[in-house]
C-alpha cells in the first residue's frame, strides 16, 4: 500500500475525497439596529451583524468562492407567535433584500423556524394541553408556511425549515406553490437531533428555550433508524435537499441517509459547539486549528455529505488556497 503514498503528486491523484470552497454554506447572524458588529464570545471570529453592514460582508464571502449563506435573524421584538418572522419588514426579509441588492450572486438560504422570534424561545406556537406546555405541531405548520412565503417574497433563493415539526416540508411546499414560488427549493433539516452541541448558537441567535427543552420535537441522539424515517417522510413531502445535524458526532447518520437516498443532495451542519471546541483547544495551544478543522470537514464529506454548513467556511477557503 505504501507505493501509492510515496510521491506527493500520486497521493493527490489517488485521493478519494476533496474539499473545495463550493462545498460550503456560511451561517450569518443578522441583528436589528445599525452599524453594529457584535462579536459572539462563544464563537470566536463570528459576530451578529446589522443589515447595513451586510453588503460589504457578502462581497468578501463571494470573493472567497463560497456559493451560499444561510441567514438567522435576531429581531428587535419577540412575542408569543414570532410575528417578526412573518413580517415583510422583519429582520430576515430586510437582510435578504440587502444581500440581493449587493450585486453578488450568492445563493441566499433562510432558516425557517420560530425560536429566534418567540419570547419563549421555542420553535413554534405553544399550547397548554392539560397543564403541559408544548409546541402545537399543526398550528405551527401554518405560520411556517407564512414565514417561508415571506422569505420568498423578499427574494430568498432557498428555504431551510429547521423546526422539526411533523409535516413541515409538505406545509411549506403547499404555501410556496400557492403563492407562485413553485421553483423555490426546500432544504429540509430532516434529521436534527436534540443536541448539547447547539449551545453557542443559542447565545449567538438569542434563541435558548425559556422553559423546558426541545426533546418533544428534535430527535433523540440514541436513534438511527428513526433518522431514515424522518428523511423518507421529508423526501415524500417534497424536500429537494436533506440535512443531518449536528455533523461530527453523527457521521454514521450522514452515511446511512446518503445510502438510503443516493439521489438526494445531502447537507450536514457542522454546528456551533463543534466549532467552539476546535477554537478553544486551538487557542489553548493543544491542537492545530487548521489541521483539525480541515480533517473534520473532510470526514463529513467522506461520510456522504455533498455540502457542509460550517462556521469554518471562510477560514477553510483561505487554507485550501
32: cell is 436589528
* CB-nearer residue toward ligand PBG: 151 or 214: 214
* CB-nearer residue toward ligand PBG: 200 or 304: 200
Number of chain positions touching ligand PBG (CB under 6 A): 11
Residues annotated as catalytic are 192, 245
DSSP state string for 5-30:
GSSHHHHHHT-S----GGGEEEEEEE
* Closest by Cα among 25, 18, 20 to 269: 25
Q: Is the dihedral of CA 236, 240, 241, 243 positive or negative?
A: negative
- Residues 141-180 close enough to bind ligand PBG by CB under 6 A: 162
Distance of closest approach, residue 201 Cβ to ligand PBG, in angstroms: 3
Exposure of 8 in the CB half-sphere (CA atoms within 13 A): 0
- Residues 260-279 close enough to bind ligand PBG by CB under 6 A: 271-272
Place of cell 439596529: 33
In whole angstroms, what is the distance from residue 125 CA to residue 219 CA? 19
Closest residue by beta carbon to ligand PBG: 201
CB 252 within 8 A of CB 224: yes
Contact with ligand PBG (CB under 6 A) among 54, 93, 108, 113: 113
189: cell is 433539516
- Judged by CB under 6 A, does residue 302 bind ligand PBG? no
Contact with ligand PBG (CB under 6 A) among 23, 111, 230, 234: 111
- Residues 190-219 close enough to bind ligand PBG by CB under 6 A: 198, 201-202, 207, 214
* CB-nearer residue toward ligand PBG: 26 or 264: 26
Question: What is the contact surface with ligand PBG in residues (CB under 6 A)?
Answer: 111, 113, 115, 162, 198, 201-202, 207, 214, 271-272
Amino acid at each position: 500500500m505504501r507505493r501509492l503514498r510515496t510521491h506527493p503528486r500520486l497521493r493527490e491523484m489517488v485521493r478519494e475525497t476533496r474539499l473545495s470552497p463550493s462545498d460550503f454554506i456560511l451561517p450569518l447572524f443578522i441583528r436589528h439596529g445599525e452599524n453594529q458588529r457584535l462579536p459572539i464570545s462563544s464563537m470566536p471570529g463570528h459576530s451578529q451583524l446589522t443589515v447595513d453592514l451586510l453588503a460589504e460582508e457578502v462581497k468578501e464571502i463571494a470573493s472567497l468562492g463560497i456559493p451560499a449563506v444561510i441567514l438567522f435573524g435576531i429581531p428587535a421584538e419577540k412575542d408569543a407567535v414570532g410575528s417578526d418572522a412573518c413580517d415583510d419588514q422583519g429582520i430576515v426579509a430586510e437582510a435578504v433584500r440587502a444581500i440581493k441588492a449587493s450585486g453578488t450572486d450568492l445563493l441566499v438560504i433562510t432558516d425557517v423556524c420560530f425560536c429566534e422570534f418567540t419570547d419563549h424561545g421555542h420553535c413554534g406556537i405553544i399550547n397548554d394541553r392539560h397543564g403541559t406546555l408544548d409546541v402545537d405541531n399543526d398550528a405551527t405548520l401554518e405560520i411556517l408556511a407564512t414565514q417561508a412565503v415571506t422569505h420568498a417574497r423578499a427574494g430568498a433563493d432557498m428555504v431551510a425549515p429547521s423546526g422539526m415539526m411533523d409535516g413541515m416540508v409538505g406545509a411549506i411546499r403547499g404555501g410556496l406553490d400557492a403563492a407562485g414560488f413553485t421553483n423555490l427549493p426546500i432544504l429540509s433539516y430532516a434529521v436534527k437531533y436534540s443536541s448539547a452541541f447547539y449551545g453557542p448558537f443559542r447565545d449567538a441567535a438569542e434563541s435558548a428555550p425559556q422553559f423546558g427543552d426541545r426533546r418533544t420535537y428534535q430527535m433523540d441522539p440514541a436513534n438511527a433508524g428513526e433518522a431514515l424515517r424522518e428523511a423518507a417522510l421529508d423526501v415524500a413531502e417534497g424536500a429537494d435537499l436533506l440535512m443531518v445535524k449536528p455533523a461530527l458526532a453523527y457521521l454514521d447518520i450522514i452515511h446511512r441517509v446518503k445510502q438510503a437516498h443516493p439521489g438526494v443532495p445531502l447537507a450536514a451542519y457542522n454546528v456551533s459547539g463543534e466549532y467552539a471546541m476546535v477554537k478553544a483547544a486551538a487557542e489553548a495551544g493543544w491542537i492545530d486549528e487548521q489541521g483539525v478543522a480541515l480533517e473534520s470537514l473532510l470526514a463529513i464529506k467522506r461520510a456522504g455529505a455533498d455540502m457542509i454548513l460550517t462556521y469554518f467556511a471562510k477560514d477553510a477557503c483561505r487554507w485550501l488556497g
